[in-house]
Structure formats: structure tokens, C-alpha cells
Chain A
Amino acid sequence: MLRKIRIGLAVLFFILLTLLFLDFTGALHHWFGWMAKIQFVPAVLAINVAVVIGLIVITLLFGRVYCSVICPLGIFQDIFSGMASRIKKNRFHYHKNRPILRGVILLIFIILLIFLPPIARLIEPYSAFGRMAANLFAPLYAWCNNLLAQIAERAQSYAFYSVDVWLKSLSSLIIAAVTFVVIAALAVWKGRIWCNTVCPVGTIMGFLSKYAYFKPVINTDKCNHCGLCGRNCKAECINSQEQAIDYSRCVACMNCLSNCHQKAISYKHIPKVTAADDQPDQSKRKFLAITALFTAGSVLKAQAQKVDGGLAVIEDKKVPERKLSPCPPGARSYNNFYHRCTSCQLCVAECPNHVLRPSNKLTSLMQPEMSYERGYCRPECTRCSEVCPTGAIERITPVEKSSIQIGHAVWIKENCLAYNGGNCGNCARHCPVGAIQILPASEGSVQQTVAVNTERCIGCGACENLCPVRPLSAIYVEGHEQQRIL
């Protein structure tokens, strides 16, 4: 019974959390956005005391249910481990805890988190999962949606609409793919070995769960030393010979309770216990995701060729060389953003204007970065600030958003149509705060001037995005380290 409840909750959490990364409409966040916000590391970074205390209390009461039910990476491993167990039964063997190794990794993680966040982020469980969802699953989901949208279009329905699928960052895609392969392989090999060796959250939770009030306990009177519990414990923490359970590694999955033929294990208050695993399919996904992404480029090219005829070819925009990419509005400052963002990429998956994408730079690897080739940061949109679980992007209203200066526009007159005698002014026409004016040419000259009021400019990138000059716009946005409310 307890196992079934655990599985039910885990499936629910896993599906909804994954959907948060897939749902481009933003509708799900309204209801389930909290699921990202109760993740441990994001809550710590957001200094969300209530959540952190809540998670600690839950762990002190029930053990590491967090790792079994709330953590998406944990459930992800259970899926692979469960599949492997169907093929090879009784495949686990108890081994000793490695507290020193775990402690050292945790320490390194904390040091890295402070001094070199990009590396720390690689092993932070929620973000690692987020990257897989955003980079591997989201494109698949979007393609399915686009298929439905095409069907809907034929049926004259507006229920589905197409979305762009594009390669946002190659480095992130590679990292996500590697994470996927490594974690899945570890789970197939030795169940929860990642959680019980590398994962810093697992180590913290493990420390707490030793003192949990309720635990799986082996009734030594009923136990016949068959060892079934130990061989089916994905955490490899049940020493059936000694009828002992290592609670620092037990993730309270309750598998051992139902595996024991003697009904010798129960979940209750008092020491001594065990664990194992379960769940449905996912194996083709990896293959599909990767092949699909490799074909993405060619599909987009084919589409571009379809729209010829009477239409002029439009060259793609290139990313300008910015000294600093602006941080999303609400990030407050580059420092705050840099240190609190775990690069889970929820905001990247969420951004409806295709502004955010994972960074390829070493210092901010995989953290979201803004650029305006495909769209601009629309004044009424606050989606990234709504979804961010870590407080790297703080919650803002559209009123605040349209007043926050995240950067300012820089005019490159050599490229500008208006400066070179053309009739343009598209930047001025679309600046949402009226910070751009086209000054008429002085007598005897054709050179109009694009005057940017940098005091009023909020750095939204409307000018850069809608500038007709390609591949490099004649006006682009430089980011600010410190965001200001104007």
C-alpha cells in the first residue's frame, strides 16, 4: 500500500514537473509552478526558508521521501532502474556506505556553488533534470504539438498553434545528452548509486534521514535471512545478513515492504529496515530525441525553401558581440543572477519570445542568456520571473517589468539605413518606452540620426529585433551589470 502511494505520487510529480518544461503556453505554471519551487537547491538559493524547513521536517519524519517522490532526477533514475530490474531480477547487492566520499563531494559542491557555480550546477539534481527536459524532451513535445497544429489548421480550429523548434545552445544540448546517458547508465548499473554517492542533496537528506521518525524496520523474529530485500534494494542499503538498514541511503521507496515474503519489514517508528524499485518505459526517447535534434536543422531549412516565390529571401540574424548579455528583468544584478541560477532552464523552455537560451560561455555555462535574433523581451511578458524557482529572477509585475532597465541600445550608424539616406525608423516606431528618436538630416545631408535616450531605454531589444539590417542589426543591446528601476 505504502509503495503504491509512493509510486502514485512520484508519477504525478514526475509528469507534472516534466510538463512544466514542455508547456509553452504557460498555463500549467499557474497551477503547478510550486512543484519547481519546492525543489531543495532552488529553495535554498531563493532563501525560501519555509520550503527548506518543510523539506527538513518531512525528511525527519518520513525519511528521504523527497528523493523518491519530489526529486525528478530521482524518479528518472527509478524509471531506468526499474526497467533493468525487469530484465535481471534480484540484481542488487549490499555494499557499505561511503560517508567520507559523500561528505567530500558535498563539500566540494558547496565550495563550487560559491566560487564556481557552473561546475556545481552540473550535479545539482533538479537542474540536471531540467536541462534534459528542456533540451531533449521539449523539442519532441513541440514537434508533436506542431503535428496537432497542422491537423487543427486543416480543421479550421484554433485549439493548437505551431511553435518554433530551434537549437538554442549546442553546449547545453550536449551536456544534457551526456547527463542523460550517464545518469541512466548508472541507474541501470547500480540503482540509486548517483543519489547515494554524488548527489549533494542526497547526502544532506541522507544525513537527516538517519534520524527519521518513521523508517522501514526489519522484524528480526520474522526475518528468515532469505536476502530478497537486499537484492531488490535499489539503494543497496539493506544488509540482510545483519538485518540492518543504512538509513542514510534509504530513499523510503517501500519496495522492501512488499518484497518480503515473511512480512518481516514494516514502516514504523523504531530502528532497522530495507528498499528496492519499479516503473514504466522510456528507452526509445533517448534515441528519438537525439536523432530528432540532429534532423532539426534540415527540417527548418526545408521549410525555408518552401516559402519562396514572390517573397524576398530573409537572411538570418547573427548574435552581435555584446560585452555583457543582459540578464532577464527581475534578476536585479548580474551577480545575483550568476550565483542563484542553477541553470535548470525552466525559463528557457518557458520564454515565448525565444529570447532566452542557455549560454555557451564557460563562466555562465548553461545559464540563460538573452539575445534578440528571434524575438524581443515583450513589455507585458513576465513568464521567466513567474517560473524561476531559485529567485535568480525575482517575481515582477508588467508594470515593474516595463520600467526595469536591463541594458541599453547602442546604435551602429555605419549599418543604419536611416543614416545612409534610407527611410526607416522601425526602431523608433517600436520602442515600447519611446526612447528612440529619428532626428532629421541636417541641411545638405541625407544622414538621419538615431538618437537613443539611454536613460529611458530598458534594453528590451525591440529595436534590435525589428531592425531591417541583417545579419547584424544597426542597433543592439548591451547588458547592464546592475538592473535599475526607472
Chain B
Amino acid sequence: MSQEKYINRRDFLKVLGGGAAATAAIMAGCTPKEYTSSGGPQGEVPTDKMTYHTSSRGDKVSLLGYGCMRLPTVNGASGREDKNADLDQEAVNRLIDYALDHGVTLFDTSPAYCQGQSEKAVGIALSRHPRNKYLVSTKLSNFTAYSREESLKMYHKSFKELQVDVIDYYLLHSIGGGKDWMKTLSDRYLDNGILEFLLKEREEGRIRHLGFSYHGDVRAFDYLLSKHDEYKWDFVLIQLNYVDWKHAKQINPRNTNAEYLYSELEKRGIQAFVMEPLLGGALASLNDHATQLLRQKEPEASTASWAFRFAGSKPKILTVLSGMTYMEHLQDNIRTYSPLKELTDEEYALLEEIADIYVNFPIIPCTSCQYCMPCPYGIDIPGIFAHYNKCLNEGYIVEDRRSPEYKKARRAFLVEYDRSIERLRQADHCINCGRCQPACPQQIAIPKELHRIDRFTEDLKRNGAELGSAALLTGLIRHLDEGNYSCVIYKNGEMRTGTQRGVLDLYGMVKSKDTFLKDASMADKVVGKGAAYLMVLGGIKELRTHVICTPALQLLQKHNIKVTFDKEVDYIINRSKTDWCPLEKRVKECRTPEEAWPVIEQFVNDLLAGNI
């Protein structure tokens, strides 16, 4: 007890030096109430108002979980980015003490975090508190050495580092990675008997909750959930935020919409841990336009607080992990969840709008440091990004031609582009040589961003002109590739895009007898016989695709649908490239579209039921 008091005093003194916000917060207890409440929009940080959810085994888990991946280093940076520095143990202690004092109960770490220093630092900080005050979560991060011995070594080491006898939450770390997800999963956890071992450890009480964290191939997620009856997962850690909810594919094609992941868990009654509530920090600072929209609604709430409210508003979410480096972030997040103000329907809609803006118009975090320059092809990289960001902030990035702002914005963008960047130094001259890429300290995907801006400029220049068939289809397939859509359909100036797996979007349109398909132009990635039947049934006019199988090509040509393609194959293969595509197999023997329809219907039903 005396030690605790001593720490708190030190704490107090350091924070006093650390920043005004922190000072105000700590001093809140000994300052007249009316004084603090008028002390600014931030207000005090409550100590006893945290929202808690109850775990399957009765834990009282704070909605804010402390993610220990970005603990501060001695250089005052985050331990994730500042790779060669040691962690600042005193700062870690201070943050963790503060978190505990303000109601945070869950601390999540991994043997892999902060170059392997995180578990130990967290263990030191937490062990200064009674064991019943906190819950620890850590992972089996056997990314390189898969063997049973190495894995067990890692497991036992976690107990030692964290200075505990029982781990409250234990996860199989990052399921779905590797070139072949199933092989990686088997190698890491199944074949070496580690999962079996962990299940036994849970039975014996050394692990209180067992779960897994998922990144990457969604089939790994689906597979482990399908084994729920056997493994009885207590919780699963998923990436969830208002952008990933519906737009995960647009951020990273390997990712899966959080809406799907969450609903799969909810269906089975499994609780969720949430990671990346801020999408790697991106949702903490949006472009001016999006920020304005949020401030209009809630002038005093931080941009990040919206993301946290979204992540915390779902009932099955046990905790939202945030990797906090700085006291200010910790305080802001505690405030947001003390207590959680659930989002209204109107606020959900607002965040969906923000997500749209974010996905379509992300600001480019270029600081004009010029490290990427000179580009060997003479491109003015920082200049182009500065122009784009400027237009973004001034609301001159408008894609929708029906928008009343479009005309003015288009002119401003194009005129300003030529003014600020010589034509020969504009983005269309980037050849994707990649020389700039490693030089960027902000890790901007420079060529990709340049191509995106080039595409946007090209669309503005075309200004929605109706073009000939070849040019139209080429435009559609480029849109498909860049937006990572499953299909793009165009008719009479209207473009629709599909984002669902395989033929689902096309199937949906045929099923609902949507006349949009009639005489439409379409771009697709891979067209097998099943998709071809759907196209015939929908009555499309022309198709551009990367890959097509011979039977599909013959079928479309028989129905006078004009097809252009990059590659013709005998048959379409399945996703793991081991066999025929399952739909391709089923419609192989069909002779007419009418004959194929019920087969496709059955296939989709099976797919949705998870039988494929």
C-alpha cells in the first residue's frame, strides 16, 4: 500500500512535467469541481465510470483494453516504429498505473511485440499491483519456429515474463497468414499438437479463456469457427472499425469486412476482442472535410473518440484494444469509454459517410521531406501529393458528376494541377519503377498513390464522355482492378460495382430480375461457365475479363455477347488451386441457361450455408 502511494506521487510529479492535459487530469481530485469543468473542452478524466462487459467466465473486462504493442521507448517514440531502442520502463509503469487507476482492467501483449520487450515490461509494471486488479492477455506468436518444443518454450516464457501463474486470455496469434493458410495453420498449431495442449491447459485452469486472432485469409477464420463445437472458443480477436465494417477490401484486398466477421461470431455467441479501432491510427486524423462533418455533430469530441465509440457499440464486444504510446491518447480513450455513449442510428449513418470519404479520398501523409527525390523520371512526387491533399482539404476532389460541386471542383483540380506541376512531371509519367518506395519514411505506397491520382485526373479529363466499346470496357476493367471489385457493370452512364465473393453479386441481380443487366457492359476478373450462364440470363451486351474458360467463351459467343479477354484456360480452378472451381464442376454438364439456373441456385445456397 505504501509502495503504491509512493508510485503515485512519483507519477504525479512526472505527469506534472509531462503536459498540461495530464496535470489537469491528475489534479482533478484536489481541485474545486467548478474550476475543472470550465477548464476546457477536454474536461476531467473519470476514474470510476468505465464501461465493463462480462466475459464468458465472469471477468469484469473494461471496454478499453490496453494494447501493449506500441509502448513508449526511451526516445519517446512508439516501440513499434522505433525498432532499435529499449522501452522506457518508467513511462510504461506510469501509463499502466494511470490506466489501472482509471478503470482499465485488461492488458494485451505478445512475445513478439516491441522486439520482444513488451511482455517483460508489462509484467514488471503489472506485478506492482494486486493480481486481482488486472487481466492479462497474450499470444502464441510462433511465427518462425513452428515446432512443439519452440512453441511450448514460448508459452512457458510468457508466464515468467508476465510474472503470473494464470493467463486470463490466450490467443493463437494471427490466423490466416502464410501463402497457404491451411498449411501454415496446421504447421503452427494442429500437427504439432499445440492446440490440443492449449485446450488441456484451459481445462486445467492455467489458461482461463482461449481464442485466436485473425488476419488475412478468411477461410482460416471460417475454418476455425466451423470447429467451434470442438474447440469452444471463448473469444476471437478481430480487426473492427467503421471503415473495415463494410470497406475492408478497399483498404486491403486480403482483409474481410468486419461486419461479416462480427456477425459470424455473434451467430455462435462468441465474444470479440477488437483490434485496430483506429485503423493503425488513420482514423485519429481525417481530412478537413470529414473532420468538419464530425465537429459539426459533436464539436468537443476528438476524431478518435468517434472510432472508439463505433468499435465499442456492438454488444458482443468484450474489449477494444488500443495501442497507446502517449498519456494524451490514454486519457482521451478513457474519457470516451467512461462511460460509453452508444452511437445513435443517425451517428452510425454519419460514420458510414465518413468511411466513404475515407475510402475514396484518403489524405496522403506526405510531409514533403523530399527523401524520395529526385525521381529518376523527373516526377514531382511531393508536389503532386501536396496538390492532391490541398484539393482534398478544399473539397475539390469530387468524383460524382451529378454533384453540384463537380464542375467547379473539376476545373479547380485540373487548372491547379497544371499550375503547380509541369505536365511532364505529373503522375501519368510514373512508370512504377519503385525507386522512391523504400525512401519514404511515412511508408506511403508512392507509385500506387500516384497511379490513383493519375486515374482520378484521367476520369476528370474524360468528364464522363461516352466512349467506344473498347475504351469503355478498358476503363471498366481498370476500375475493377483498382477498386478490387468482383465485377463492374455499366449502362447508360451508370456504373455499379460488386464486392461480394465469386458470382454472388451477379447471382443476386439475376435472381431479383434486375433489368440493369440487360444490354449492359461488364468487366470481370475470372469468368467460368457458371458466371457465363448468369451473364446470358441477365442479357449483357459485352464483357471484358482477365481470364475466361473455353466453355464460357463458347457459350457467350453463342449468345452473341462480345467478349475480350487476356487469357483463355480450359477450366477455372478453385481458390487453393488444387482442383476445379466448385461451381465450374457443377455446371459442367449443363446445356442451357435454364438448365444451369437451379444448379447455380443450389450452389449459392450451399455456399451461404458454409457447406463449400
B352 is an interface residue with CB less than 8 A from chain A: no
Contact B474 A433 (CB under 8 A): yes
Q: Do A466 and B374 touch across chains, with their CB atoms under 8 A apart?
A: no
**Pair count A-B, CB < 8 A:** 113
In the complex, what distance in Å separates the CA atom of A426 from the CA atom of B419?
Answer: 24
Question: For B471, what are the chain A residues with a Cβ–Cβ distance below 8 Å?
Answer: 379, 402-403, 432-433
Does residue B466 face the partner (Cβ distance < 8 Å to A)?
A: yes
Residues of B within 8 A of A401 (CB): 468
Chain B residues with CB under 8 Å of chain A are 370, 373-378, 380, 411-412, 415-416, 418-419, 422-425, 428-434, 451, 461-463, 465-475, 477, 544, 564, 566
* Given A423-B434, A468-B431: A158 and B377 interface contact (C-beta under 8 Å): no
A402 & B377 in contact (Cβ 8 Å cutoff): no
Do B469 and A162 touch across chains, with their CB atoms under 8 A apart? no
Chain A's interface size range is: 35 or more
Chain B contacts for A423, CB-based, 8 A: 431-434
Task: Return chain B residues, CB-CB under 8 Å to A161.
Answer: 415, 418-419
User: Is the CB–CB distance between A434 and B544 below 8 Å?
Assistant: yes
Determine if A422 is an interface residue (Cβ-Cβ < 8 Å).
yes
30 A-B residue pairings within 8 Å (CB atoms): A158-B416, A161-B419, A310-B374, A311-B373, A311-B374, A311-B375, A311-B425, A312-B376, A314-B378, A314-B425, A378-B461, A379-B467, A380-B462, A380-B463, A399-B468, A400-B468, A401-B468, A402-B472, A403-B469, A403-B471, A424-B431, A425-B431, A426-B428, A426-B429, A426-B432, A433-B471, A433-B474, A434-B473, A434-B474, A486-B470
B432 touches A425 (CB 8 A): yes
Given contacts A374-B423, A426-B428, A434-B477, 7 further A-B contacts (CB under 8 A): A161-B418, A162-B418, A314-B424, A422-B431, A426-B429, A432-B474, A433-B474
In the assembled complex, the Cα of A152 lies from the Cα of B467 at a distance in Å of: 34
Question: Contact at A380–B429, with CB atoms within 8 Å?
Answer: no
Interface positions of A from 450 to 476, Cβ below 8 Å from B: 456, 458, 466, 468
**A8 touches B (CB below 8 Å):** no
Assembled-state Cα–Cα distance A397/B466 (Å): 9
Query: Is A313 in the interface zone, CB < 8 Å from B?
Result: yes
Residues on the A chain within 8 Å of B424, using CB? 314
Question: A126 to chain B: closest CB distance in Å?
Answer: 30
Residue of A313, A417, A429 ringed by the most chain B CB atoms within 10 A? A429
Closest chain B CB from A121 CB (angstroms):
32
Across chains A and B, which 3 residue pairs bring their CB atoms closest together, nearest first? A403-B468, A380-B465, A434-B474
| B419 / chain A contacts, CB cutoff of 8 Å | 149, 153, 161-162
For residue A371, give the distance in angstroms from its CB to the closest CB of chain B.
16
In the assembled complex, A99 has its CB within 8 A of some CB on chain B: no
Are B378 and A313 interface neighbours, CB within 8 A? yes
Which B residues touch A347, using CB under 8 A? Answer: none
Known: A432-B471, A437-B566. A311 touches B378 (CB 8 A): yes
> How many Å from the CB of A311 to the closest CB on chain B?
6
- B466 lies within 8 A of A399 (CB): yes
Q: A400–B430 Cα gap in the complex (Å)? A: 29
Tell me if A71 is interfacial: C-beta within 8 Å of chain B: no
Q: What is the distance, in angstroms, from B84's C-beta to the closest C-beta of chain A?
A: 29
Chain B residues near A380 (CB-CB < 8 A): 461-463, 465, 467
Chain B contacts for A374, CB-based, 8 A: 423
Q: Does chain B have a CB within 8 A of A430?
A: yes
Q: Which residues of A contact B465 (CB under 8 A)?
A: 379-380, 398
Any chain B CB within 8 A of the CB of A362? no
| Option from A310, A398, A402 in Cβ contact (under 8 Å) with B373 | A310
A39 to B425, CA, bound (A): 42
A423 to B433, CA, bound (A): 5
Alpha-carbon gap, A437 to B433, bound state (A): 17
* Cα separation A430 to B373 with both chains bound (whole Å): 24
Given contacts A162-B419, A423-B432, A466-B429, contact A433 B378 (CB under 8 A): no
B-side contacts of A433, CB under 8 Å = 468, 470-471, 474
Does A431 sit at the interface, judged by CB under 8 A?
A: yes
Residue of B nearest to A433 (CB): B470
Which residues of A have CB within 8 Å of B370? 310
Say yes or no for A307: interface residue by CB 8 A criterion: yes
Tell me whether B467 and A398 are in contact (CB under 8 A).
yes
Chain B residues near A399: list those with CB within 8 A.
466-468
Closest chain B residue, CB of each to CB of A308: B374
> Is the Cβ of A456 less than 8 Å from the Cβ of B373?
no
Query: Once the chains are docked, how many angstroms separate the CA of A424 from the CA of B431?
Result: 5
